[in-house]
A and B are shown apart, each in its own frame.
Chain A
């Protein structure tokens, strides 16, 4: 059933004259994401084996793979057809990553949209927080900006669309939701997601050259509430480099 559904929804969409988006569907769904990762691996092989394929960037998302190419180096039309036939024939891939337990503070100045979301959904502020803390989120992709994790798993009762007019500046490390997704803004940035809290943990550190992003596709994240004092302490520890990433994991012994 699942496979048939994905195949029916398969589309090749032009993203200008230098990129294709191969779309498997429009949902946030682990099965769909598995097919994206399958095509990603196939496209990575082409890039490695054929220097003239012209592929310059591969961007997996929840439900699609964007393939950026050099239009002067390759025949874009032919590349698109190759991707489409690979998408039909390539199987799904599953990645199971680590489980993070990340602190979040819900103080008013960190959570400008919390009351509004609660009111719109007819829930109390406490219930919204409780639902957030009870959920386990799955990291589908890193995108939008360095280290920005797109996570699925938001309880349906908390789903709301993005703001109609995006904010010009969302503070760094804001915990945000939009639709069925949850994310953290690693940097101050314009953004239209609803801000429900803030984490003291940096999601991206250029100092860590090998894995600058804290989270990767396939990781899971649970949240725990912290007060302002603990938030400040953790923030200070993180910025001085005194916070070990491993201490934030569940079910793994810190090495």
Chain B
């Protein structure tokens, strides 16, 4: 049997995202996908899904879902909690990093994302129609579906009532400066501009969305005023473009496929998910590394993800979730989730 959930409250600015829409950039179609693919992969793992299933990305007030059909499993990742309202009226809190199963009539009221992007995964994924190979919402071009009131989304139902729940330690992103590779247009800047980028303290501004993150801080001087304009060329996620005012903009998942501002540097793939966790006002610093180091960082991240996934515990009986989740379940006693 299939599961079916209904959006009973759309929340604010929530979107359906998977790992993105690759292969269409030549038509000007953004890659989209989760701003923090690591947290989305974790959320999927916590409901037993492969990494590519669509999740709801929450960046402000989360949505509310009501189960209409089937027993379904959901999990939250990131700085996000929810309230589970059983069809009988009982309520309990749902913390992130563990799954919970819902029966028809049960509702999940997702709270406010207190950090950066956070995710809600569901068994089988939110199965909205595929558009150009992906379920990712790309609002600027009305591709993919927005999370709207009354929308009914199919998912997978769990086979039987005695389903066990999944849990894991919270994923921890790397710390330290955001790593970049210089270029492709670092030669459009004065040498001191590179030094300023790599030593300056920048702050994320409120003028940030899924397309890009505008930064505030020391202006970066172009070589000449004419160097602030280029004949448009290809862009990608993480590219740091600098318009005439000298203030950098980091391109994110919904970014344009080509653009005419020179790109002084590009954030490496391993650090893109970290950008999704920065909120307006937070500071950001950059470190330049080379291609070999970038590759090592990405491989290390994938290894760490595998270790995290091996640590997903599958075993808490489903009924336990309605008792106090800390009492009587040794995994959740204080001190279990330590730093590595």
Contact = CB atoms under 8 A, between A and B. Distances in A.
Given A59-B26, A162-B244, A146 B184 contact: no
Contact of B269 (A17, A57, A142, A212): A17
Interface residues on B, range: 35 or more
Contacts of B299: 72
Interface in A146-182: 146-148, 150, 161-166, 168, 178-179, 181
A213 B260 CA distance: 21
Interface stretch (B71-79, B154-162, B230-238, B308-316): B230-238
B232 A61 contact: yes
Interface residues of A, number: 57
B195 interface: no
B295 A66 contact: no
Contact of B142 (A19, A26, A58, A206): A206
B232 A212 contact: no
A162 B260 contact: yes
A31 interface: no
Nearest to A172: B140
Interface string B10-30: 000000000000111111111
Interface in A12-63: 13-19, 21, 23, 26-28, 56-63
A146 B25 contact: no
B233 A14 contact: no
A144 B260 CA distance: 9
B23 A164 contact: no
Contacts of B177: none
B258 A150 contact: yes
B143 interface: yes
B25 A59 contact: yes
Interface in B1-50: 22-31
29 contacts: A14-B266, A14-B291, A15-B236, A16-B236, A16-B239, A18-B236, A23-B184, A57-B22, A59-B234, A59-B258, A61-B233, A63-B233, A142-B27, A142-B28, A143-B25, A143-B28, A143-B232, A143-B256, A143-B258, A145-B28, A150-B258, A165-B245, A178-B229, A181-B231, A187-B140, A189-B140, A190-B211, A204-B141, A213-B28
